[in-house]
Amino acid sequence: MRDTILIISEYSDVSTNKVMEYLHHHGEKKVIRINAEDVINLNGIDLGTDKSSVSISYLNREIVYDEMKSIWYRRGDLLCGKFNAYGTEAIESQVNRFLLEEWRVVRDFLLGVKRIDSSVFVLGDLSKEEYCNKLHNLNIAHTVGIKIPPTIITSRKSELEKFINLYGIIVTKAISNTPTFHFENSNYSTRGTAILTAEGINKLPDRFFPILAQKYIDKVLEVRVFYIKGDCYAMAIFSQDSEKTKIDYRNYDHEQANRIVPFKLPTIVKQRILKLMRALDLDTGSLDLIYTTHNEFVFLEVNPCGQFDWLSYNCNYYIERRIAKMLSNGKN
Amino acid sequence: MFTNDDNYPMLYSCCLPVKGYKNSIICDIQRQSYISIPSTLYEITMDIGKYSIGQLKMKYVDEDIEIIELYFRYLWEQKYLFYTPFPSSFPKLDIGDWDESSVITNAIIDIGEDIAYNFKDILHDLNVLGCRQLQIRCYSIKSLSFFDDALENTDSNNLDAIELIIAYSADIIDIPIEYLTNKYPLLSRIVLFNAPLNNQYLSGTGNCLIVYSTQQIDDETHCGAISKDFFSFNIKAFTESQNWNSCLNRKISIDKHGLIKNCPSMKRSYGSIVEKSLLEVALSANGFKDLWHIKKDDISGCKDCEYRYVCSDCRAYLDEDSMYSKPVKCRYDPYEAIHLE
Ligand code: SF4
């Protein structure tokens, strides 16, 4: 019988907890959650014999692929238990790197459920998360007709100067993800997006490590969209209301919380988002857009494993319930 | 503000007008507060979002427009209202949708003299039912080991918070209280009634509020007070009260005699905890869930009150015999809009 629901996540992920509560509430008995913080044991992958089968065990629970109904890759990773490679201490790090590569192939096989058994319902994809490239995403968004901010990646001061002369106000942010640095028992993080001033640029050497620069865009609203299997749940953030959050809403202003309300995307924008998600082959993701003072929607980025808890709660969307239903029914 | 005729004034969808007989309010369920407006302004409040400024100017005479403009300016200053040329981009919140992923969300266990509970079983059942909030009330003085025994199995997956409401005793203050809050991080509030003084402070762990209260409490009849202090202006409470009873929905209780009830103050019992389990009652007792459906819109008096979707309600101490009558401990009169404390 197909009754197992497998969820790959992280311990601290609130959305996963909520989805699981709904699954239990709706009577699902075999829900197995694997957190990236834990390790799994591979029982066996049996290929090309009479009894082709795949099974893994995790905290004393057996996961047999033949019994799998749905799998949700929410975030995190599937990690293998550590084994000591005896007698190779001298080249330990090289061996470990090799073992990691070995495990990667196994892991990708295990998570590539659709290719093992096409009747399993799959939501999310680790490989999409791993290969998610913000620059590709921007480029593809542009080709499907979504406006993006004029963007450059450069390591030359002269280029930055040209760029700022052209657009007046420009910003910079991490090309990958907002970094956190640990120093003397404290964690330091950046504010996400920061303004690049002419004075700041002036102080730079002629060549530097490549950075991203974008035209600063005056906005009326920030729009967040949680996309799932063809549906868009959108929310507007009136971040212009308070000065502090003007550049990036993560600079959250607690006293005068920004207004957050449900938002209905114009049909044309929605269609382009669907096109983008299809082009990126993502079945879930959260997108950041801004609505500009020139009445345009501008795409900033998409996170395949972005948070939706906040959006779901504030807009009363019950996205967790929707996901639980999909996993239960084994279809959209 | 009224300069661009094409703009539509709109309330942020988290700002929800509720009409009362005399007074109305706009609930801000995001910032969890509200503003009062006379019910005469309710009609125009309901027009917000429907008409552009140009259309409002056609609809109302000049003197009225002046008042409306002033009123909207006030709402705008309070950040309840904004102007947009695209009103259809801002749909209303679906406040009719309220859901919980558990059979029971909150429980009250009263502790009396004539029965000793098996807390292990009770907590097991509450966990299976998905209970998130637990209130334990104790009307007589108990030892520390008693609370240790009661709380021992509370580190279950489902509980979010536990409140202790217990009789003050000189033996259970300071060190024992700190001990409890350290050992049971789910404790969010400890109220010590019959205390010699009023005081409150945060525990050393920072997540439990300790309240000393001089209020004299002997039994469950202290409960059911209706006061602004107990109103909940959050989205969960507001949406729940649209279709469900704000006090009893998804609640289960044990009274001080060990009787399983909707609430310890209610008369109807579904059997003693000695003979029945919470699980049995919650899942299959006849009529157990009936009262959950008494929403504020069905209750006489309350249905004309502007606080009906944020009020805590009480179905135990009522004005009249009917289950649909107003809480007797409410002094607010929505027809006169007076006496709200
Ligand atoms: S109990 Fe009182 S305050 Fe609450 S809704 Fe009824 S009349 Fe209003």
Flag whether pLDDT at A251 surpasses 80: no
Beta-carbon contacts of residue B185 (< 8 Å; ≥ 6 apart): B205, B207
**Residues of the domain holding B179:** 106-293
Same domain as A121, residue A14: yes
Same domain as B178, residue B72: no
Same domain as A235, residue A208: no
What percent of chain B has pLDDT above 70?
98
Structure tokens at B333: 């009169």
Q: Please classify residue A191 by burial: count the beta carbons closer than 10 Å to its beta carbon, then call 0-12 exposed, 13-18 middle and 19+ buried.
A: exposed
Question: For the whole model, what pTM was predicted?
Answer: 0.90
Tokens 């819109």 found at: B297
Number of structural domains chain B divides into: 2
Distance CA A39, CA A80 (A): 5
**Do residues B231 and B283 lie in contact, with contact meaning Cβ atoms separated by under 8 Å?**
no
Vertex B227, ends B222 and B231: CA angle to 5°?
Answer: 115
Same domain as A250, residue A199: no
Same domain as B135, residue B276: yes
Same domain as B112, residue B76: no
CA-closest candidate to residue A28, choices A36, A18, A20: A20
Task: State how beta strands B209-212 and B106-111 pair.
Answer: unpaired
CA-closest candidate to residue B252, choices B241, B263, B242, B243: B263
Task: State how beta strands A170-173 and A207-215 pair.
Answer: antiparallel
CA quadruple A177, A300, A193, A319: dihedral sign: negative
The answer to whether residue A317 is domain-embedded is no
A276: domain CATH number is: 3.30.470.20
CB contact under 8 A, B30 and A314: yes
Atom of ligand 1 nearest to the CA of B302: 6
Same domain as A289, residue A143: yes
Strands in chain A per DSSP E: 4-9, 31-35, 39-46, 53-58, 61-64, 68-73, 79-80, 121-123, 151-156, 170-173, 180-183, 186-189, 193-196, 207-215, 219-228, 231-238, 259-263, 284-292, 297-303
What percent of chain A has pLDDT above 70?
94
Start-to-end CA span in chain A (Å):
20
CA distances from B144 to A153, A182, B195 (A): 64, 42, 17
Flag whether pLDDT at A257 surpasses 80: no
Confirm or reject contact between A302 and chain B (CB < 8 A). Answer: no
CA quadruple B183, B184, B188, B194: dihedral sign: negative
pLDDT tens digit sequence for B80-120: 999 999 999 999 999 999 999 999 999 999 998 888 899 99
Most A-contacting residue of B90, B101, B102 (CB-CB within 10 A), to test interface: B101
Vertex B260, ends B257 and B264: CA angle to 5°?
Answer: 65
CB contact under 8 A, B89 and A263: yes
pLDDT tens digit sequence for B158-206: 899 999 999 999 888 888 899 999 999 999 999 999 999 999 999 988 9
Residue at which a domain ends, from B271, B293, B315: B293
Average pLDDT score over chain B: 93
Which chain A residues are closer than 8 Å to B89 by Cβ? 236, 263-266
Which chain A residues are closer than 8 Å to B79 by Cβ? 241, 256, 259
Query: Taking residues A269-282, what's their average pLDDT?
Result: 96
The answer to whether residue A205 is domain-embedded is yes
Same domain as B116, residue B75: no
A8 Cα to chain B: minimum distance (Å): 19
Same domain as B226, residue B121: yes
The answer to whether residue A224 is domain-embedded is yes
Same domain as B82, residue B32: yes
Q: At what angle do helices B119-129 and B144-151 cross, to 10 degrees?
A: 40
CB contact under 8 A, A262 and B91: yes
The answer to whether residue B151 is domain-embedded is yes
Flag whether pLDDT at A77 surpasses 70: yes
The answer to whether residue A297 is domain-embedded is yes
Residue at which a domain ends, from A158, A183, A216: A216
B43: domain CATH number is: 3.90.930
Same domain as A11, residue A97: yes
CA of B41 from ligand 1 middle (Å) equals: 21
Residue at which a domain ends, from A216, A236, A271: A216
Most B-contacting residue of A17, A316, A317, A327 (CB-CB within 10 A), to test interface: A316
Same domain as B131, residue B178: yes
Residue at which a domain ends, from A76, A96, A127: A127
Give the DSSP letter of residue B100. -
Flag whether pLDDT at B35 surpasses 60: yes
Question: What are the beta bridge partners of residue B10?
Answer: B82
CA of B16 from ligand 1 middle (Å) equals: 18
**Residues of the domain holding A69:** 4-127
The residue type at A92: E
Number of structural domains chain A divides into: 3
Residue A198 belongs to what H/E stretch?
helix A198-202
**Whole-number pLDDT of residue A275:** 97
Same domain as A112, residue A40: yes
**Whole-number pLDDT of residue A250:** 52
CA of B43 from ligand 1 middle (Å) equals: 22
Which chain B residues are closer than 8 Å to A18 by Cβ? 101
Tokens 């502090």 found at: A244
pLDDT tens digit sequence for B244-287: 999 999 999 999 999 999 999 999 999 999 999 999 999 999 99
Distance CA B101, CA B236 (A): 13
The answer to whether residue A187 is domain-embedded is yes
**Whole-number pLDDT of residue A51:** 65
**Do residues B315 and B266 lie in contact, with contact meaning Cβ atoms separated by under 8 Å?**
yes
Same domain as B168, residue B121: yes
pLDDT tens digit sequence for B126-169: 999 999 999 999 998 888 999 999 998 887 668 999 999 999 99
Work out the pLDDT band at A227, boundaries 50, 70, 90: very high
Vertex A242, ends A262 and B75: CA angle to 5°?
Answer: 65
**Do residues A113 and A122 lie in contact, with contact meaning Cβ atoms separated by under 8 Å?**
yes
Flag whether pLDDT at B2 surpasses 80: no
Same domain as B289, residue B243: yes
Flag whether pLDDT at A255 surpasses 50: no
Helix ranges (H only) for B136-270 are 144-151, 175-183, 235-243
ipTM of the complex: 0.90
